[in-house]
Amino acid sequence: MEDDGSSFTFWEFDGWENIPLNVGLRQPNVTHVHSLRRLMPNAKIVVLLRNPIERLYSHYCALKRDVINVRDFHERARYGVEKLNHCFHSNGVRQCAFDTKIHEDL
């Protein structure tokens, strides 16, 4: 069985706060991984990841299209790393991974 190969499958899980068991929470109790485990409890999952820097630059180019600027990319990447590190230190990795406000700002 194969699934969507995009990084969004693991990185972005928009709408988790709309699942009834997650309403009002700052981080989810239930995610798509929980559903997968319930449907196929003995599944073995293999994840192949792209080089994160190449993937980030590719995403930047796709969003910027005609106005690609290496300095802008560098500053945005630095800003993102600083913002995530601050969040990790203050709130923990799991909460920051599911914080929709942080993802919108990055």
> Is 99 contained in some domain?
yes
> Is 2 contained in some domain?
no
Category of 102 on φ-ψ map: left (φ > 0), alpha (ψ -120 to 50) or beta? alpha
pLDDT tens profile 64-99: 877 888 899 999 999 999 999 999 999 999 888 888
pLDDT tens profile 18-68: 889 999 998 888 887 788 888 889 988 887 788 989 988 988 888 887 788
> Is 78 contained in some domain?
yes
> Is 95 contained in some domain?
yes
**9 and 3 Cβ atoms separated by less than 8 Å:** yes
Domain, as residue range, for 62: 8-105
pLDDT of residue 48: 79
pLDDT of residue 41: 92
Look at residues 101, 104, 96, 82 and name the one whose alpha carbon lies nearest to residue 28: 96
**pTM reported for the whole predicted model:** 0.65
> Is 3 contained in some domain?
no
Domain count, the chain: 1
